[in-house]
Structure formats: C-alpha cells, structure tokens
Amino acid sequence: MGRIIVEVMPKPEILDPQGKAVSSALPRLGISRFTAVRQGKCFHLSVDGPVTDELLADARRAAEEVLSNPIIEDVVRVEAIDEDDPRYAGGTK
C-alpha cells in the first residue's frame, strides 16, 4: 500500500491566528526558544499498490483544487512515503 503526504500552509501574507495562539502559549509552558509558529494542514492519501508519477500528479491536482484554498493557502509539499517511513503510521491505514 502506498501513501502520499500533502502539506498545506497559509500564504506568508495571511494572518495565522492559530499559529499566533500556539506561539503565545509556548512560553507559558517554559518553551521559549521558538520565534514564530505557523499552523497548516497535513493530509495522508492512501492508495492500493505503489505510488506512481500519475498518482503524484493526481495528488498535486487534488491538493491545488480541493485540499487547499488557493486564495489564502499554498501547497508546500506532495510526497510519496514508504511503508517503513515512521510518518507512515501517522495517517490512515
């Protein structure tokens, strides 16, 4: 079974209130070395069989047309991962 990770982030010029809230909360937990936080979205797309270039192209299209709002978000990554990659366990089975 193959998996594709799609990451979407707010465009740099877009305010990120969730990231700002997290950034403000970290020092209260004693975590003060981070200078900024941006919060985005991560999608795990599972397929039967190996990930092909055609599937990656379909994932890129889905990311740009469905998974993101191109007015306020950028698709920053569309990547195939192997089953032995530790990130594989973080998605759907």
User: What pLDDT is recorded for position 23?
Assistant: 96
State the pLDDT confidence band at 91, using cuts at 50, 70 and 90: low
Q: What is the pLDDT of residues 5-43, one digit of tens each?
A: 999 999 999 999 999 999 999 999 999 999 999 999 999
Does the predicted model carry a pTM greater than 0.85?
Answer: no
Domains in the chain: ranges and CATH: 2-85 (3.30.1280.10)
25, 72 contact by CB (below 8 A) = no
User: What pLDDT is recorded for position 50?
Assistant: 92
Residue 26 per-residue DSSP state: H
